[in-house]
Amino acid sequence: MEQYDAIVIGAGQAGVPLSKKLAQAGKKTLIIEKRYVGGTCVNDGCTPTKTWVASAKAAYDASKSSELGVNIKGYKVDMRQVKKRKDEIVLKSRNGGQKAIEDTKNLTLIFGEAAFTGKKTLLIELNEGGTLEVTADLIFINTGAKTLIPEIEGLKDIKYLTSTTILDLDYVPEHLLVVGANYIGMEFGQMFGRFGSKITMLEKAPRILAHEDEDISEAMHQILTDENIEIFTNATTLSFIETKKGNIKAKVSVAGKEQTIKCSHVLIGVGRIPQTEALALEKTGVKVDEKGFIKVNDKLETNVKGIYALGDVKGGPAFTHISYNDYTIVYRNLIVGENLNTKKRPVPYCMFTDPQLGRIGISEDEAKKQKLKVKVVKLPMAHVARALEVGDTRGFMKAVVDPVTKKILGAAILGTEGGEIMTVLQMAMEGGITYDRIRYCVFAHPTYSESLNNLFLSLDN
């Protein structure tokens, strides 16, 4: 059995930088990865999907260019080129991450799947064949999550797509049925609609984006339907069957009424589950919740001293930036000697539909549930000078504020560059800058963020 000072399981957005920092701090470190360096973000998530979002945006802009006085005739989507560009960008990022690991002193990279055999011991099934036993006093689990495959009659008998396998397509599906109108489903649905697919989306909840305020949900619903995307809410998928011609029939219940939807492809996007099954955590005593997510304290340590969990595998907000922040907390606590925790960290996020939805802090609905005395301000993008000039006035800016302290408690920006505008407000929240100061702040004209002046204008009354 080979002894290490630290073992990192999973080369994701927390695992890679953490392993490098541990090695640079003088610890003999091993990082184990069963597939590709970079985790979901680089290989199946942020990097590939956002390259495709950019291609879809180019197609959309071409279709709308006549509104700006520019006539583009006969444009077409070359899906093979779209995929080729995506693959090149992913490979460059993946290879860069792997080389950085391999160039780090005291750090060993092994490709294989790890499972606990004891409290601090692991058996690795090597990808190249054979096994290896290893042990360390410090173990960090960064194995991430994977697509939840629901129990639907006939699903296993059809060639369904997931958010991972859909990235292998080098053609445009004729009719894509998206099961789950959540953030992932909406990004892919809008994207492939712009590539040329007919899109139908099924959402089990009464409305899409059920975790967002109702006005955001309604606006996003309208944005998608304006792009000829068909959305069914209160929809349950009952069964699938493949026809003799290779198409798929989906039997669904919409508001209690059964109907059949014919499509060429099905994308499953109803959620994700942690990749903990293969770890044999019962051998080490690490506790998980009812869904299999690893339980951690606010310093990201499990109930077993010296074993930590970072990123999606521990549950909570499943965002790359949260995973990366997990790494910084663990590293600074263990190596630098700081005393950091996850209790009050901000959780910003951005849904990369077009327009984007950028969110930070509490929503209007959350404020109501907490019975907070707040004021809510809202500015349609149609009243934003930059949006008018660019020719895209979809969406709105919205903020929740404390009228007494004048602090910004939360914001939602549904609009072009919504994530960037949200980040300006996040910086204000981080720095304790109150809305009245933003109201009279001098911003460059004409920028989107300049209209934050006008967003808070009504609070003068």
Active-site annotation, residues: 445
Q: Residue 166, by phi and psi: left (phi above 0), alpha (psi -120 to 50) or beta?
A: alpha
Give the dihedral sign, CA 308/311/315/321.
Answer: positive
Peptide bond into 355 cis (omega under 30): yes
Q: What are phi and psi of 267, to 5 degrees?
A: -110, 125
d(CA 254, CA 138): 51
d(CA 274, CA 143): 8
The encoded tokens of residue 16 equal: 């890679």
Among residues 441, 381, 449, the alpha carbon closest in space to that of 420 is found at 449
d(CA 414, CA 356): 6
Among residues 206, 28, 167, 154, the alpha carbon closest in space to that of 89 is found at 167
The encoded tokens of residue 284 equal: 């080490």
Q: What is the distance in angstroms between the CA of the first residue and the CA of the last residue of the chain?
A: 72
Q: Are 204 and 174 in contact (CB under 8 A)?
A: no
The encoded tokens of residue 146 equal: 């994977």
Q: What's the residue count for the chain?
A: 461
d(CA 325, CA 312): 12
d(CA 379, CA 454): 7
Going along 128-171, which residue ranges are E strands? 131-141, 145-147
- Give the type of residue at 251: K
Torsion of CA 63, 66, 69, 74, to 10 degrees: 70
d(CA 383, CA 395): 10
Peptide bond into 446 cis (omega under 30): yes
The encoded tokens of residue 264 equal: 């060429």
Q: In what order do the strands lie in the sheet with 175-179?
A: 230-232, 198-202, 175-179, 265-268
- Give the type of residue at 261: I
